[in-house]
Amino acid sequence: MSTPEGPAGRSDGGPGSDTGRGTGRHTGSDTGRGDLRQEGAESLRAILGGRGGAVDASVPVVAFVLVWLLAGALGWWSPVGIAAGAAILAGIVVAVVRLVRGTRPRAVLFGLLGVAVAAIVALYTGRAEDFFLVQILSNVASALAWAVSIVVRWPLLGLVVGTALGQRTRWRRDPDLLRGYQRASWVWVAQYVVRVAVFLPLYQAEWVFALGAARVAVSPALVALSVVLSWPALRSALPADHPGIRHPRVVGEAPGGPTVDGPPTDG
């Protein structure tokens, strides 16, 4: 990390990096708050991951586009069919690599299923650009789902992070965390909207190579940017004394209460 305060750290004397006023030294409480915010930023990044998954998902796309171009240039029979097969084969290779790296089998299966469906759609229509149709539709659906989750006060980012931290829905009983997850979820809505804005015109123009290039360049970059921006957006809703995402501050609960929901116990 470049600074002790993490990506959202401040060096202007604001919350999280306030030097002891008039002393030029960090106070113990200020250092503690800085540590909690550092922990929060690192926790969020660890949970959301980075662009690795998006990069893996780009491999079948590259295989499809390159093989389609090659098959067309050489006059092979059914370039779309050959390219679809190459994409599925590449998807299988990526799936095996991800399993070896310890990725959850369910996530691997969903990734491979997405490649297979995209290939089947392209095979059915005979149009190479339709390989990207499923992704465009899923981006539209994702943008709507994330936006609706914010409006109904069940932000998807909170569900993802809360589940990963074993908190179930305790974070919803912390008004500050709930508001923070709502703000940070808008970052993910925005990245899906940007994807649609980039891919849809290319799809309508039937620019297959441009679609592939945009898919490889834009999607990983947007995922990485969203991960980076999620923490500052979330933190902006938290007061200076908030203990962080691992420690929801539930109204009526004693300080230092449980951070992970466990099974109910009999009185």
Q: Please state the domain extents for the chain.
A: 48-235
Per-residue pLDDT band at 25 (split at 50, 70, 90): very low
pLDDT over 70 percentage in the chain:
74
- Determine if the pTM surpasses 0.85: no
Per-residue pLDDT of 65-81, as tens digits, reads 999 999 999 888 899 99
Two tokens, residue 141: 């659906």
Average pLDDT over the chain reads: 81
Per-residue pLDDT band at 49 (split at 50, 70, 90): low
The partner residues of 19 in beta bridges, in order of sequence, read: 26
Mean pLDDT of the 33-46 span: 58
Burial label for 254, CB within 10 Å (0-12, 13-18, 19+), is exposed
Residue with tokens 């039937």: 206
Compare 20 and 221 and report the one with higher pLDDT.
221
Q: How far is CA 54 from the centre of its chain?
A: 9
Alpha-carbon span 159 to 168, nearest angstrom: 8
Residue 110, amino acid: F
pLDDT over 90 percentage in the chain:
55
Per-residue pLDDT band at 107 (split at 50, 70, 90): confident
Q: Which pLDDT belongs to residue 90? A: 96
Alpha-carbon span 102 to 260, nearest angstrom: 24
Per-residue pLDDT of 139-171, as tens digits, reads 999 999 999 999 999 999 999 999 888 888 899
Report residue 19: phi and psi, to 5°. Answer: -80, 155
Mean pLDDT of the 238-266 span: 68
Per-residue pLDDT of 169-204, as tens digits, reads 899 999 999 999 999 999 999 999 999 999 999 999
Q: Which pLDDT belongs to residue 19? A: 37
Q: Which pLDDT belongs to residue 257? A: 53
Neighbour count for residue 100 (Cβ, 10 Å): 8
Q: Which pLDDT belongs to residue 254? A: 56
Alpha-carbon span 61 to 81, nearest angstrom: 14
